Every structure is written in C-alpha cells, then in structure tokens.
C-alpha cells in the first residue's frame, strides 16, 4: 500500500492554481504545482497536485468544497490520480 | 549645480523606491526567469508565484477580496482605456469631471467623435468638485461615471462615498482613476462599492515604471467588457478565442514580471510601514508646503488646504515663468519638480492657470520636514529675486 494518495486539480487560469496552492497548503495538504497531464487537458500552464495520507478518507467532493468555500474557481478535481 | 537633490515630483513617479524593490527585481531576473504560467517547470512556476504574490499584496492594500479580479496593465492609462473603450458605445452617456487627466480626457474625446455622449461637470476654481452638480448630471440611463480620486494639480480628493451613492441610484457604473491616490490614501474597492479602479504602480505604490492595473469590483459582470488586447495567456491554448475568466481575459502576452516583482516588494513595504502612517506624514508635508508657500511674498497657491488632499501643491511666482522657476530650482538648489500643465489641461482651465501652468511640489513618503523647509526657503529666494 502506498503511503499517500494523489490527486490533481485543473484550473482555468494559473493565477487560480497559485491561489489554491496557498489555501490547500494552509489547510494541511501537501501540494505541488506540476505541468498539466496532457491526457486531462491541452492547457499549456500548470495544475496542482495534492497528496493525502493513504489512511484518510478524503474525497474529491471534499476538496471541491474546500475550493468553492474559498471562492476559488477550478476546472476539475481528479482524485485519486493517477487511478 | 547642486549635488544633492530634493525630489518633489512624486505625483509623476516615485523616487527613490523602497530598498527591497531593486533586490526583488534582480532576484526575479536571476532566480525566476521563466515565463509565468506558460510552463510547468520550476522557473516558470517561480515567476508565476512572484507575480501572484504581488497580486495578493495589492488585493490586500486595495480591498479586493478576490485577487483574480486584479488585472495587471502597463500603467493606469491602459487600465482606464480598457474600461472606456470596452464599455462605451455610440449613444451611451458618460459623465466625467473638469478635474481629469488626459488619460481620461483623450480617450473620451475620441469616443465623443464616435457618438458617445460625454458630459463634463465643471470643477470649482479651488480644485473642489461640487458633488451636487455631479449628482445632478448622473441621470438614469447614464452608462458610466469616470472621476479622478484626486486630481494631479491641486491634489484635492473627491468625496468618493457620495459619488458611489449617486452612481448606484442611477444604475450606472463607476470608474475611479486612482493614479494619484493608490498607496497614499486608503481605498477599499469591495467595501466602497467601486466598480473599476485604475491605478498606477510607480507613483504612490512606489513600484517601478511599466506597472499598473485595474481592480474590478465584485458586482461587475465582465462578459460585457471586451479586452483591449487579445493573445496568448498560457491558458486554454487549444482555443483560438480569448478566455473569459479573470485575470487572463485582460492579461494577454508575457507580463512585466520584473516590474511586478518590484511592485510586490513596494506594496509589502507600504503594508509594513502602514498606509495611515504614510498618509499622516504626507499630510504634514502638504500642510507645511501650503502654509509656507501661502505666506511667501509674490507666491500664489492654488487649491485649498481645508479639504482633503494628497501631498500635491501647485503655485506660481509673480513675474516669473514657471519654466524659469523649474530650471532655477533644479540648477541652484537641486529641487526637482514638474512645471507646466501636468498632462491635465482640463484641470488648469478649471483653476485658471491655463495655458501658463503651475509649479508643482509633490513630496513622497521619503521626503523629510527638513527638506520641505529647504524647498520653501529656495522658493522665497527665487521669488525675492523676481
């Protein structure tokens, strides 16, 4: 079993990705800005990868809610990713 | 030629800059040289992060809840043009004042030639704007109201809350030209209910030239506001049409990252020193200048000291051309100021100094009381020789 599960969030604008990075790391997530996987989008900017401990029960919906609550617009949350 | 200078041209551009500005700009070039938001590699991300930090710091200073509603431009002029050229169509009514800079008056004059109805509410000779006359001009059906938060000749501050209320009653939108006030006078875009706030990055905000921006109020629907420029944004590359989301819609092409890095450092300096402290200091310098110049023989001071204003004081000396005074202050005393019409012929007509213009003293936050006293002494000497 891996120690962490990974997900990725896609944004319309890199400014939103940076805003989300700040909010999610503030909420205790481990995050990293990465090139957007080509299979998910043709966007040429970057996406936000996040990691949660394998034993936690975090869901994509929870991450979406966290972003929405902070007023951060996003395109999609893929979690877990890669599947 | 005097070796030391007293820089009193802060209303044109700030100098010197806070110490961290230059360091932030070299660090951007040396350590974060990528194209922000275009790639996922570390230098691109580092550049994007620095620009985003500037966006966040400015959003805090200007009271913009969502940093993505802050658009970077190359100056306040570009920000003003985004709104004027984007909003106004032939047949629309726009209300402005007799206290505006050419950054507003020239685009409006061109739009008037295309059939936009431009209504100019005259200001008073002492630099104040009669708000009741402005309110009367903002009739229902007015599309937009454009007003300088403070004009750049007498520094008189517009009572913004009253203007916002009149704009709301008429169902219009408000563009505030904050080129003279951002960084010197408290502003809160969200709480004050401002629709568009155009600002310069290199004046009161103490950043480098080539920086400025537009804050867009939270109630504004931007789908009706086309961008001035279209092009690459680093987002939605598969699409040949401009993205609709902010800030990308209005930020085409590689941004001035090195300038924005400097602007971020400058804004953090302002946040640290405190806007209230900066405003109090500049108010003290303004009072000293106003009172000292008013008491000098042969000197006429414009504007009025009783209403709120920025640290901008305009005057003339009897018997001397303003250009002559400017040259002597520079050569003999190292006092650097701007003389003439200050790109604001409309304001000079209002206060009665067109076409000769005035001598303008505009101290920034690093000018000391001692330097103002030396400047006043120099003016007395020059006036005494006339």
**In A, which residues are within 8 Å of B56 by CB distance?**
19, 22
Residue B266 has pLDDT above 90, yes or no: yes
pTM: 0.94
- DSSP secondary structure letters along B62-116: HT-SSGGGEEEESSHHHHHHHHHHHH--TT-EEEEETT--HHHHHHHHHHHHTT-
In Å, how far are B14, B57, B170, B269, B337 from B364, measured between CA atoms?
A: 7, 21, 37, 14, 12
Average per-residue pLDDT for chain B = 95
pLDDT at site A52: 86
Tens-place pLDDT, residues B346-371: 999 999 999 999 999 999 999 999 99
Return the ∠ at Cα B366 (arms to B363 and B371), rounded to 5°: 65
Nearest chain B Cα distance for residue A47, angstroms = 8
Tens-place pLDDT, residues B18-35: 999 999 999 999 999 899
DSSP state of B140: T
pLDDT at site B350: 92
Tens-place pLDDT, residues B90-121: 999 999 999 999 999 999 999 999 999 999 99
Nearest chain B Cα distance for residue A59, angstroms = 25
Q: Are A12 and B233 within 8 A, CB to CB?
A: no
Residue B97's DSSP bridge partners are B121
Sorted by where each begins, the domain ranges of chain A are: 1-52
Q: Are B248 and A71 within 8 A, CB to CB?
A: no
In Å, how far are A35, B7, B58, B78, B258 from B150, measured between CA atoms?
A: 45, 21, 19, 18, 29
For B354, the enclosing helix (H) or strand (E) is none
Q: Are A46 and B45 within 8 A, CB to CB?
A: yes
Residue A52's DSSP bridge partners are A5
pLDDT at site A43: 64
Residue A45 has pLDDT above 80, yes or no: no
pLDDT at site A44: 60
Dihedral of the CA atoms B230, B147, B96, B163 (nearest 10)? 120
Residue B2 has pLDDT above 70, yes or no: no
Mutate to test the interface with B, among A25, A31, A45 (most CBs of B within 10 A): A45
ipTM of the complex: 0.84
Tens-place pLDDT, residues B120-135: 999 999 999 999 999 9
pLDDT at site A42: 58
pLDDT at site B166: 96
Residue B326 has pLDDT above 80, yes or no: yes
Tens-place pLDDT, residues B68-93: 999 999 999 999 999 999 999 999 99
* Structural domains of chain B in order of their starting residue, each with its CATH number: 6-17+275-384 (3.90.1150.10), 20-273 (3.40.640.10)
Question: A41 pLDDT band (50/70/90 cuts)?
Answer: confident
For B226, the enclosing helix (H) or strand (E) is none
pLDDT at site A10: 93
Q: Residues B308, B332: contact at Cβ < 8 Å?
A: no
- Residue B215's SS3 state is strand
Backbone angles phi, psi at B315, to 5 degrees: -155, 165
- Residue A21's SS3 state is helix
Is some CB atom of chain A closer than 8 A to the CB atom of B231?
no
């Amino acid at each position: 079993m891996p120690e962490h599960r990974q997900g990725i969030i896609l944004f319309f604008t890199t400014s939103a990705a940076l805003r989300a990075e700040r909010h999610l790391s503030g909420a205790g997530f481990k995050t990293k800005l990465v090139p957007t996987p080509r299979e998910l989008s043709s966007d040429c900017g970057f996406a936000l990868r996040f990691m949660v401990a394998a034993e936690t029960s975090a869901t994509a919906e929870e991450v979406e809610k966290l972003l929405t609550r902070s007023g951060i617009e996003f395109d999609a949350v893929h979690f877990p990713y890669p599947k | 030629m005097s070796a030391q200078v007293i820089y009193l041209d802060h209303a044109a551009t700030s100098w010197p800059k806070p110490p961290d500005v230059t360091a932030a700009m070299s660090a951007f070039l040396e350590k974060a040289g990528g194209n922000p938001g275009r790639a996922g590699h570390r230098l691109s991300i580092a550049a994007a992060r620095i620009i985003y930090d500037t966006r966040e710091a400015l959003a805090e200073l200007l009271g913009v809840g969502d940093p993505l509603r802050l658009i970077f431009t190359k100056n306040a002029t570009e920000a003003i043009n985004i709104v004027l050229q984007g909003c106004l169509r032939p047949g629309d009514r726009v209300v402005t004042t007799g206290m505006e800079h050419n950054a507003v008056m020239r685009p409006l004059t061109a739009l008037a030639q295309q059939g936009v109805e431009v209504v100019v509410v005259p200001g008073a000779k002492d630099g104040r704007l009669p708000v009741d006359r402005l309110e009367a001009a903002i009739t229902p059906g007015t599309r937009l109201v454009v007003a300088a938060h403070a004009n750049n000749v007498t520094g008189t501050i517009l009572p913004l809350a009253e203007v916002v209320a009149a704009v709301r009653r008429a169902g219009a939108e408000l563009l505030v030209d904050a080129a003279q006030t951002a960084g010197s006078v408290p502003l809160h875009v969200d709480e004050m209910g401002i629709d568009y706030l155009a600002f310069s990055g290199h004046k009161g905000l103490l950043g480098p030239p080539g920086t400025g921006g537009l804050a867009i109020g939270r109630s504004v629907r931007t789908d009706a506001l086309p961008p001035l420029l279209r092009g690459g944004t680093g987002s939605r590359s598969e699409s040949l049409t401009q993205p609709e989301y902010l800030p990308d819609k209005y930020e085409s092409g590689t941004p001035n990252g090195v300038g924005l890095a400097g602007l971020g450092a400058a804004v953090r300096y302002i946040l640290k020193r405190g806007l209230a402290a900066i405003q109090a200091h500049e108010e003290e310098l303004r009072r000293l200048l106003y009172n000292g110049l008013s008491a000098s023989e042969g000197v006429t001071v414009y504007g009025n000291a009783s209403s709120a204003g920025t640290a901008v004081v305009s005057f003339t000396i009897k018997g001397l051309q303003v250009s002559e005074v400017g040259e002597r202050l520079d050569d003999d005393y190292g006092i650097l100021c701007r003389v003439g019409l200050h790109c604001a012929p409309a304001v000079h007509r209002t206060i009665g100094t067109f076409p000769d213009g005035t001598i303008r003293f505009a101290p920034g936050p690093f000018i000391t009381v001692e330097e103002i006293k030396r400047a006043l002494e120099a003016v007395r000497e020059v006036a005494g020789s006339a």
